[in-house]
Every structure is written in structure tokens, then in C-alpha cells.
Structure 1
Amino acid sequence: MSKERIFDNTEIAFSLKSNSELNRAYLLFKMISYEPLVKVGKTLSNFAIKANLPVDSVIRATVFDHFCGGINEKDCLPVIDAMFEKGVSSVLDFSVEGKEEESFFDAAMDKTLEIIKFSENKEAMPIAVFKPTGFGKPSLYTKKGEGKPFTAEEQVQWNRVVARYDKVCKLAKEKDVELLIDAEESWMQQAVDDLVSEMMQKYNTEKAIVYNTLQMYRHDRMAFLMQEHDHAKANGYYLGYKIVRGAYMEKENERALKMGYPTPICESKAATDDNFNASAKYILDHLDTISLFAGTHNEESSYLILEMMEEKGISINDNRVWFGQLYGMSDHISFNLANLGYNVAKYVPFGPVKDVLPYLIRRAEENTSVAGQTGRELMLLTKEKNRRKLV
């Protein structure tokens, strides 16, 4: 399988992009490739938002429309339908970050419930998602994970967090919509893990509905995966895991250094890659009890999973194995896999332009810091631009 280099087919990868969209993507990744420009852009964007400057149209016409599906669910429908015609499903992701009010957490829960109901009758949307800090304060997750006692008010707030999880997971089970729960920084993740494991035990009784997320740049995640597997087997329920490399490496290392504890991050990129691939292999070895959502922009890991599926005789459209990438990135992986019949879903962020800006800035920063990612996008976009000139 790897010898075929299926991800090099740019005609399939960018089949949905017009020439103008292709040029916009090229200019966008070119800008993102310059770290000083990303830093300046972040500062200017934050200033513009705080100063209430009318920047929505500028942001929308550039970075927003490339990385986001729209400002609301209805706005995303043309994107969802167009991708599904090419075999790529959508995971609508309400990407508003950094809020701390209870009213926002309730609104985020309601939005997730709406998406699950929306997904039930929309074949193109078989999976829903939410971010733990969209349902509760970071400080609560941290305190709970550290085993510190809550104040009476904090306990009430935490009970609301648990109730939000339960309500969303219950509806996902009723509507048969798989539900991905994203990961947070390690100091919050312990509380998330405990709560998601509780939800899995309650709702993954016939198959995986609720999925936790494993950030494999953490060196303890393989041991955690095997421990959770033992618990699930002993208690008769199924596991679902989205595996990713991870998104908070600098913050993790800085906090560990500042607070004087060993970093949870793997010692090298190679160790992270090995960890990610080992988790994929472990899950595929136990597909009877664990379902896999491989969230990766890494070509070699994707090829490896394809090879393992072939070796194990796993059908390419087995619903227990999904590949996932972010909207606006790695189209060469998503669309080429879908073209062959594999289960592929794009995370499609949406929300009001100004509210989604922190997410967009994080995307730009991640693209700048991931070695080779932006260069690969630029090379593929250039290849497709040149191909079209010859057609």
C-alpha cells in the first residue's frame, strides 16, 4: 500500500477548490510559514477585536473561510454537502474558546445537542464532538484531577458539568451518533478521563458511542489505554478512542519546568510517532472491543494504518475505523482516502467570526510550529496549480 503513494494525487485532493480558492490557500499557507508574521497577526487580531474594529469581513474572506465551515450549522451545509459528494463526512465543531460563564457552558451543551439531532438525519454527519472546557471551567477540571476538595459552589458547578456530559452522551446513544470528546492539557485531562470513562461504561454497552481522545505525545498514554481496556473487558463495555499526537506541547513543557515536575511529553518527535503508531496497532489488534478514530495529518502513520488494516483483513469501510483531519488542512490525505472508500471525516469548525478567532490563531501557530506541515501543503498546492495550467 505505501508504495502506491496515494496521497500524491493533487487532482483528487483539491477537486473541490476553484482556482481562486487554490490561490487563496497558497497565499494563506505562505503567510503562516513566516512565524514573525503569525505573531504580528495574532497581536493585530486581538487588538482589532478588543477595539471593536469591523474586521469580520477581512477575517472571513481569508483565514476564516479556509479553516471554518461557517458561522452556524446552516451556513456549513454547502461545505458539508460538497465534501460528502466526494465521500468525506463532517464533524461539526463549535469552536468558540476561552469562555468561563455558566450560561456559555449551557449554550455549548445545547449547541452539541442540536448537532446530534441534526446528525441523526444527515448521513454526511455521523459523528459529533465537544471540547471539555466548553462544558466547564478549566479550574474545576484541574482541581478535580488533583484530588483537591471543592467548595460548595464548585461542587454545584461540577455537578452541572457531569450533568451536561450525561445529557449529551445519552442523546448520542439514543440517536446512534458517535461522540468524540476532545483532549485538554494534562493538568485537566485526569478529570476528563475519569468522567469520559464513566460515560463509556454507561453508554458504550453495545458498541462505541462515546470516544475519549488520547494525545500520544504523552509518554503515559499507552499504559493508560491498556489499563482502560482491562477495565472495559472486566466490566463488559466498549471503548472508543480518537488518537492524536497532541496540541499543547510548549505549554506542557513550560508548566512542568516552572512547577518542577517531570514533563509528560515524549522525549522526541520520533518517540511521539512511535507512541502514536503503537496505539493504532493496539486498537486495531483489539477491534472487537475498541473503535478507532485516527486524527492525523501524518502521511506515514496513515499508510501504516492502511497496511495494518490490510494485513488484519479489516474492511476499508468498517465503521470501527475512521480517519480524521481538520478542515482546510491535509486534503491530500482526506480526499484520496475517501476516494478509495475508507471512512474519512473532516473536523469542520464553526461559530461567530470574532468568537472563533482564538481557534484560528491556534491553528496558525500550530502550522508554524509543526515542522514540514506547511511546506508540504505549499508543495502540494503548487503541484496542483501547475497541473491545472497544463490541462
Structure 2
Amino acid sequence: MVSKNCFEDTETAFKLKSDSELERAYFLFKMIANEPLVRIGTAATRFALNLHLPVEGLIRSTVFDHFCGGVNESDCLPTVDNLYAAGVHSVLDYSVEGKEADTQFDKTKEKVIELTYFARDKEAMPFSVFKPTGLGRFKIWQKVTAGEALNEAEQAEWERIAGRYDATCKVAFNCNVVLLIDAEESWMQDAADALAEQMMETYNREKPIVYDTLQCYRHDRLEYLKARHKRAKENGYKLGFKVVRGAYMEKENERAEEKGYPSPICSSKQATDENFNAVVRYIMDHLEDIHLFVGSHNEQSSYLAMEIMEQKGLAKNDPRVWFGQLYGMSDHITYNMAAEGYNVAKYIPFGPVKDVMPYLIRRAEENTSVAGQTSRELTLLKKEKARRGI
């Protein structure tokens, strides 16, 4: 029977945090809980970095070290090893965003390939990961999604993006390392999904190697999943999906309102939760065809997935089902699930401080917009501080 209070164990949740790291986490989440402060802080940080002011040390010792593993993969290794000792796997995520040049996209491709070889030789790292816009310009993704004609130069650029996808997926296939492809804004996502689907048809013949991402704050994702499943069965390949709620809600709603089209986002938090749970149920009902990575900081969804596994008589460590949270967040879910024997991984972002700042700013803004998330973190941190007498 799944225990309904296993996430309350703060001793297990924060066992890897020293007293000073616990204090820092409490301080950071208190800051993040203050929305005006987040807006001022992110604006000031962007300003300071753009002017090359000497703030990287301050950023590194506070928000960066809490939410990131380091500036390079070697930097991350002590964290990876510590997590693995606690039964938690790692997904090293090269979190450099917002680039525009081919040389930068090629560099990211090479970095993902390097990390995939790295993961092949390290049991603690069963996954590799990338974002579509890490391998190509947002505007090209957007044009292809919108069905707009590409000129000759753009067509060549698109073919280079497809080439980067194929090179990356081929290495994952040869290394037998699962490759997670993140999802982004809806107005570029169709092109990214179509390319991921091509990669699945090529590399997922025997088992899922390439995983796409379903953002369940989009109300159409369950029907979309069913259509993908039908095509995969017809064409003889397997599917893998990371299932998340989504990280661009405010941007999605604002753009829909500005451009005058219906928002792709669910009408309420409850509708999003119901959609997420329905997608998880559907995949759990079809594990012979689809493998699942539950990327969630939501306790109820985590309990639900655990209960479904129990009802189906699945082992807690069934290799077809994984759970994951972001480094620096929801440790009460990650470490307590790992202690119970489930397959759990932390997404560990890394990269040069300045290049990772867009990711960190998005994290801070997302935390302020998710009702209850930050207050729950604070409650648990406070409870652990009291338990330790600090």
C-alpha cells in the first residue's frame, strides 16, 4: 500500500544538505515567494550581466549553486555521485538557452553527444537530454510549425537542424542511453514533435531510446498522444514520453490573447491536473508500447502514479517507468521515492553562469506562478530546520 505521508519525511528529503545549504535554500525560497522581488531581482540580474558587472560570484554562491550542478560536467560529478549514493540518478542538462548562430548549435550538439558517451559509462546517468532550440534557431522552428515556405538558405538551415537531431539520436542509440527531448512554446512545438517522431521511427524499433515531451497544460495532449500511439503501432516502433505540466503558461496565454487565437492552455489548474493524470494513466495502460518519465513536482500526481503501479502489480523499479524532479526543488519527493525503491532522477542543469541565467530566471518566475509550490518548499525546509535545531 502506497503510504500517503511518505513525502513528509524531511530527514530523508534533506539528508544531502548541510546546515548552511539548508539555510540558503530557505532564504532563496523566501525570496522566490515574493513576486515583486523576483521581478526586480531578475531585471537587475539581466542588467548587471549585460553590463559585465562583477556579480557572477554572488550568483554562483546563491541561486546558481542551489539550482545547478556546476559550470561543466566535471563540476557536476561530486553531485552525481552523492545523489547516486542516495539512490537517485542524474540527468545532466546543458542549460544554455537563447543562442542564434550555427556554431553555437553545433557546439551544443557536440556537448549533448559528449554527455551521452559520458552517460554510457556511468550507471548513475541513464539519460541524456536536449532542448530543440539548443540545436536550431527558434524562428526556423516557428516557420516550419506555421507551415510557412522556407527560402533556400532557411531550407538548408532546417536540414542542418535535422542533421543535428539525427547525429545526436544515433549516438544515443549506439550507446543504449535514453535521450530526452524537451518541449518548448506551442508555436514552435509541432516542428519539434514531427522531427522527434521521425527519430523514434528510426531509432525506437526495438525499444524506446528517443523520448519526446508532453506538456499537459496543453488541453490537446491526450488526443495527440493517442494519435502518436496509433501511428507508432501502424509503423512498428516504440514510444517514450516525458510527461510534464509545462513551463511557459503565462507566455502562452499572453501570446494567444495578443494574437487573438484560443489559448492552447487548459482553462484551470484542476483541468491541467486532470489532463496530466489522464495522460499518465493512458501510458501506464500501454507500457508494452510506451515508456514513461513522470516529470512532476506535484505530490498528488506522484502518489497517483505510484498507486497505478501498485494496482497493476508492477515492481517499484520497473524499467519502463521513471520519475524526475529538477535539482534544487521537491527534494521531499525525489529522496523519499528513491528510499522507497522507485526509479528516480534529478535533472541537473549546468553551464557557464551567464549562459545559464535565462534558465534560472525562468525557474524563479515559474516558481512564483505555481500556487503552493514555494510555500510547500518553505514549510518542509522550516520543519527540517526545527528538527535539526537550527
TM-score (norm. length: structure 1): 0.99
| Aligned equivalents of 2:24, 2:145: Cα separation in 1 | 43
Counterpart residue number, 2:129: 129
Partners of 2:58 and 2:175 lie apart in 1 by 39
Alignment of 1:339-354 (within 5 A): 339-354=339-354
The aligned residue for residue 332 of structure 2 is: 332
Shift of residue 3 of structure 1? 4.5
The residue number in structure 2 matching 1:47 is 47
Listed as ranges, the gaps of 5+ residues in structure 2 are none
**Structure 2 CA distance for aligned equivalents of residues 193 and 27 of structure 1:** 39
Cα deviation for residue 4 of structure 1 reads 3.3
Question: In the alignment, which residue of structure 1 is the partner of 2:192?
Answer: 192
Question: Structure 1 residue 282 and structure 2 residue 309: aligned?
Answer: no
1:1-391, aligned counterparts within 5 Å? 1-389=1-389
Q: Distance in 1 between matches of 2:354 and 2:63?
A: 12
SS of 2:378's equivalent in the other structure is: helix
- The runs of 4+ residues in structure 1 deviating greater than 6 Å are none
Per-residue deviation, 1:50: 1.0
Q: Distance in 1 between matches of 2:317 and 2:259?
A: 46
Cα distance in 2 for residues equivalent to 1:248 and 1:60:
25
Structure 1 residue identity aligned to 2:197: S
Over residues 254-299 of structure 1, what are the superposed CA-to-partner deviations in whole Å (9 max), with x where a residue is unaligned? 1111111111111111000000000000000000000000000000
Tell whether the 8 Å contact from 2:7 to 2:336 is kept in structure 1 after alignment.
yes
2:217 counterpart SS class: coil
Q: Deviations over 1:39-73 (max 9, x none)?
A: 11111111111111111110000000000000000
CA distance in 1, matches of 2:384, 2:277: 30
Counterpart AA for 1:83: L
> What amino acid maps onto 1:46 in structure 2?
R
Residue type at the aligned position of 2:50: K
**2:4–2:303 CA contact under 8 A, matched in 1:** no
For the residue of structure 2 that corresponds to 1:365, the secondary structure is helix
Q: Deviation digits for residues 93-134 of structure 1, max 9, x if unmatched?
A: 011111111111000000000000000010011101000000
Kept in 1: contact 2:218–2:266 (CA 8 A): yes
Code of the residue aligned with 2:157 in structure 1: it is Q
Partners in 2 of 1:274 and 1:227 — Cα distance? Answer: 19
Aligned residue type for 2:344:
V
Cα distance, 1:2 vs. partner?
Answer: 5.0
Deviation at 1:340, TM superposition (A): 1.0
1:4 partner SS: coil
Amino acid at match of 1:87: G
State the alpha-carbon separation in 2 of the partners of residues 2 and 303 from structure 1. 7
Distance in 2 between residues matched to 1:294 and 1:143, nearest whole Å? 30
SS in 1 for 2:389: helix
Is 2:6–2:336's contact at 8 Å kept on the other side of the alignment? yes
Please report the RMSD computed on the Cα atoms of aligned residues, expressed in angstroms: 0.8
For residues 336 and 356 of structure 1, what CA distance do their matches in structure 2 show?
A: 29
Distance 2:191 2:363 in 1: 25
Following superposition, the deviation at residue 389 of structure 1 comes to: 1.6
The percent of aligned pairs where both chains have the same amino acid is 62
In 2, Cα distance between equivalents of 1:97 and 1:170: 23
Q: Distance in 2 between matches of 1:43 and 1:131?
A: 24
Q: What is the distance in 1 between the residues matched to 2:3 and 2:346? A: 25
Distance, in Å, in 1 between the alignment partners of 2:268 and 2:377 is 23
- Secondary structure in 1 aligned to 2:287? coil
Gaps of 5+ in 1: none
SS at match of 2:53: coil
